[in-house]
């Protein structure tokens, strides 16, 4: 069984994101970019499934500018077998990405598509769900435990107030949550080996997908600055402040 792992290039999780001076978006020039952390978890899970003999090949796919090749190389250095880049400079929305991934899935015929539950830059949490609907495949989202059997997956999902266990027939779409695993670091020899692994490149037009944006971002603003806290001398003052200043009691 092949596993397709869509990986997104995002501003590194440890970088303080800055809004562009003209408010049209966030600054990505000269900023460290990395693989979306949830996608790393998806790659790790795919590797573990291959190591357990449940998968034969792992294909990392990224959609976006040519620099997304670096993100694919990271997945290859972790252990993925080959990469697919859908190259475009058009800003991509989840629906466009889901359509591109559907086209790649139709070419590759994977048994399982493992995505991150969300991208940390846009927090959309949409791509996996849209992809599953477009393909007509079953889905399990927010997965914190995954068992792959011959014809189905059994997935434990993190839901409000507890865990839910679902079964989905293969082929299926699974989106992964934080507690599924801890991704490995790529070793130096594997980083070297990854340079030789193949990456196939397609343009959206070659896949027959129109990626024209449908949503216009009107403005991006920094969150309001938080006021410094104060220390109160006793409980009576705290209660008074909660009543008269915060007005929460």
Task: Give residues in contact with ligand AMP (CB under 6 A).
Answer: 6-8, 36, 38-39, 42, 62-64, 92, 94, 97, 115-116, 118-119, 122, 124-128
Task: CB nearer to ligand AMP: give 28 or 241.
Answer: 28
Pick the closer one to ligand AMP by CB: 114 or 247: 114
| 127 vs 156 by CB, closer to ligand AMP | 127
Kindly state the smallest distance separating residue 83's Cβ from ligand AMP, in Å: 11
Instruction: Report the alpha-carbon distance of residue 141 to residue 174 in Å, rounded.
Output: 6
CB of 142 to ligand AMP, least distance (A): 11
CA 89 to chain centre: 19
Do the beta carbons of residue 15 and residue 125 sit within 8 Å?
A: no
Q: With beta carbons less than 8 A apart as the criterion, state whether 115 and 155 touch.
A: no
Which is nearer to ligand AMP, 70 or 149 (by Cβ)?
70
Q: How many CB atoms neighbour CB 54 within 10 A?
A: 19
To the nearest whole angstrom, how small is the minimum distance from the Cβ of residue 236 to ligand AMP?
47
The least CB distance from residue 152 to ligand AMP, in Å, is 22
Residue at shortest CB range from ligand AMP: 116
Nearer to ligand AMP, 69 or 156 (CB): 69
Which of 101, 124, 118, 119 lies closest to 171 in space, CA to CA?
101
Angle at 98 between CA 55 and CA 193, to 5 degrees: 45
Output the smallest distance, CB 175 to ligand AMP, in A: 7
CA 100 to CA 201: how far, in whole Å? 12
Contacts of 125 (CB under 8 A, 6+ apart): 117, 118
First to last CA, the chain: 58
Closest contact distance (angstroms) between CB of 173 and ligand AMP is 10
- Quick count: other Cβ atoms within 10 Å of Cβ 74? 22
Closest CB to ligand AMP among 82 and 241?
82
């Amino acid at each position: 069984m092949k596993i397709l792992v869509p990986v997104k290039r995002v501003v590194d999780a440890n970088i303080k994101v800055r809004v562009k001076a003209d408010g049209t978006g966030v600054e990505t020039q000269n900023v460290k970019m990395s693989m979306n952390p949830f996608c790393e978890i998806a790659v790790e899970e795919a590797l573990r499934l291959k190591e357990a003999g449940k998968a034969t090949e792992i294909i990392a796919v990224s959609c976006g500018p040519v620099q997304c090749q670096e993100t694919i190389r990271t997945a290859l250095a972790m252990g993925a077998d080959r990469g697919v880049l859908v190259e475009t400079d058009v800003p991509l929305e989840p629906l466009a990405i889901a359509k591109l991934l559907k086209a790649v899935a139709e070419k590759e015929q994977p048994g399982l598509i493992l995505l991150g539950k969300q991208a940390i830059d846009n927090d959309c949490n949409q791509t996996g769900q849209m992809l599953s609907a477009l393909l007509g495949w079953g889905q399990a989202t927010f997965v914190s435990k995954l068992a792959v059997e011959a014809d189905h997956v059994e997935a434990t999902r993190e839901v409000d107030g507890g865990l839910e266990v679902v079964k989905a027939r293969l082929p299926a779409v699974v989106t992964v949550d934080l507690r599924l695993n801890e991704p490995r670091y790529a070793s130096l020899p594997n980083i070297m080996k990854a340079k030789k692994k193949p990456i196939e490149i397609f343009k959206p037009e070659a896949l027959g997908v129109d990626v024209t944006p449908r949503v216009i971002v009107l403005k991006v603003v920094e969150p309001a600055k938080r006021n410094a806290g104060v220390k109160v001398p006793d409980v009576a003052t705290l209660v008074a402040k909660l009543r008269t200043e915060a007005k929460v009691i």
